[in-house]
Amino acid sequence: MELSKIVDPTLLTISAEHVAALRPYLAMFGGALIGIVFACFSLTNRKWLMAGLSIITCLVTGYYSVINMGMAKQVLFSGMMVSDGYSHFFNVLFAFIAALTIFSSFRYLDRENLHYPEYYILLLFSALGMMLLTSALDLIVLFIALEIMSLSVYVLVGFRRADRRSNEASMKYFILGAAASAILLYGSALLYGATGSLNIADIMKMATNTDHGIPMIYTIGSWLVAVGFLFKVASVPFHTWMPDVYEGAPTPITGFMTTGVKAASFATFIRILMSTGFGSEAAGLAGTQVETILWVIAVLTMFIGNVIALTQTQLKRMLAYSSIAHTGYLIVGLLAAPHTDLGYAPVVLYLVTYSIMNLGAFAILTILSGKSDTRLNLSDLSGLSQKHPWIAFALAVFFFSMAGIPPTAGFAAKYYLLYSAVQAKFIWLVVLAVLCSAISVYYYLRVLVQMYMRDPVGSENEGMTPAWSAFVVAMTVALTLQVGLLPSKMVDLSKRVVETLKQ
């Protein structure tokens, strides 16, 4: 009986380098575990203890990820996951997003009487899921990581249990998300059936090396996997859940979802497209029409997102539709990437700047909102520049950035993205993207007009802006302007990061 044929003894050991590569994940998981222990021993009466623990966890994770970014690529657990510059770059981003979300939710939880330790623990678990998602090389690991991320977010969306909208949002997100997960899983099963492997690289090898074309199962499977991801990033045929969920979720969590979940899904999408050789001439995927489908989806997503955003007066809903529109721009970047020498760097840059400005915008909405997330209509902002000049200024910076007006990060990122699309000769797509972008300027500027050119309503002074949130806003404004004025550093970094993906 030849059992050693299956079990390779080296698979059962783990070397020191592997442990070093795994440090960010271990730190994040360890932080969540310590949080659970704290919660068990009711040490959480002191609120700052949980918040401090989570922030330290994020800092340690970020620190280890920065160290690991320079390390050589390592394939871990017999090809299940990979530690390279790309994955650690995104680990830093997720740790950053989680930390800022915790900062901006501290006062929010106080005000809503929601200071429970589970909030922080779930946030850390969700960040861990995102980190694992971007480093997965195997469809099983990918699915489980996606579920770790999503399950925690489902609960966080419904965290304001006394609020009907929050419950509805959570339920909607959960049911539709579960359906999307099922579709993704079925697609993975079909891909496994077509190729006999769950490893992303192996699947591609199989699909390109077959002599008699791509089996139809493979085509259907790749479509279903794509649908699963397009749902997570809310591109147009699968976007209907998003405005309701964004409106119902606690405001800091909306910021976390719109940045973290989207960045994780896109980063994974890039890795899959890259290792499946999407767009290159030899690609088996050419026969699956994924490019045509993405083209249509990109146009629809940009157009519908921007047009519906015009009609919204509730700020969270408006940002939800604008976030759909941004998904469209990102898909344009995905389409262009294989045909230029810039590769996926513009998409990565766009994801980072998008995360920064959205986190800032939602931190401000958290400050401005009244109890139970009321007072977030457009009219509530009128005359904000007189009541809170600095907050109005910061919000103006973020909205300029989202509209893509210089000298903000949004302009640099959008310019770089569309430049790569021009290089790839997607002229029509660029024309449409610019048109949609022009539409978006209207609804962003409408907020500015309301803030700067109308008289203030309501005389009551809301009091001091909490220091924790002010820190988030200051930091994101600084980063937005910094990347906008001197983009070359970020551009270089994103290029180097994408470079590590290729090896």
Partner 1 sequence: MAINPIAFFVFGGAALAFSMMVVLKKNPVASAFSLVMVFFCFAGIYASMNAHLIAILQILVYAGAIMVLFIFVIMLLNADEPTFDLRRTSNVVKAGAVAFGLAFVVMLAIVFKKSNIIPLNAGFSSEEVIKLGGNSKVLSQLMFSKYILPFELTSVLLLAAIVGAVAMAKRKTGKSS
* Helix (DSSP H) and strand (DSSP E) numbers for the chain: 20, 2
Smallest distance from partner 1 to CB 156, Å: 8
Nearer to partner 1, 128 or 490 (CB): 128
248 within 8 A of 157, measured Cβ to Cβ: yes
Smallest distance from partner 1 to CB 351, Å: 24
The position carrying tokens 């400050």 is: 367
Strands 81-83 and 74-76: antiparallel
Smallest distance from partner 1 to CB 260, Å: 15
Q: Please report, for residues 43, 168, 346, 478, the alpha-carbon distance to residue 491 in angstroms, rounded to integers and kept in the order given.
A: 44, 41, 8, 17
User: For residue 205, what is the enclosing H or E element?
Assistant: helix 200-209
- Which residues make beta-bridge pairs with 445? none
DSSP string, 38-102: HHHTTGGGSHHHHHHHHHHHHHHHHHHHHHHHTSPPEEETTTTEEE-HHHHHHHHHHHHHHHHHH
Smallest distance from partner 1 to CB 317, Å: 24
Nearer to partner 1, 95 or 207 (CB): 207
For the record, the structure tokens of 62 come out as: 């970020």
Nearer to partner 1, 2 or 455 (CB): 2
Nearer to partner 1, 11 or 457 (CB): 11
Q: Please report, for residues 51, 88, 253, 269, 470, the alpha-carbon distance to residue 95 in angstroms, rounded to integers and kept in the order given.
A: 14, 10, 15, 20, 19
Distance between CA 353 and CA 494 in Å, rounded?
Answer: 11
The position carrying tokens 């990102």 is: 330
Smallest distance from partner 1 to CB 154, Å: 7
Nearer to partner 1, 78 or 292 (CB): 78
Smallest distance from partner 1 to CB 38, Å: 12
Nearer to partner 1, 79 or 407 (CB): 79
Smallest distance from partner 1 to CB 58, Å: 17
Distance between CA 401 and CA 353 in Å, rounded?
Answer: 9
DSSP symbol at 383: T
List interacting residues with partner 1 (CB under 8 A).
1-3, 5-8, 11-12, 29, 36, 76-78, 80-81, 112-114, 116, 118-119, 121-122, 125-126, 128-129, 132, 138, 140-141, 144-145, 147-148, 151-152, 154-155, 158-162, 193-197, 202, 206, 210, 212, 215-218, 220
Nearer to partner 1, 77 or 419 (CB): 77
The burial class, CB within 10 Å (0-12 / 13-18 / 19+), for 282 is: exposed
Nearer to partner 1, 46 or 161 (CB): 161
Smallest distance from partner 1 to CB 2, Å: 7
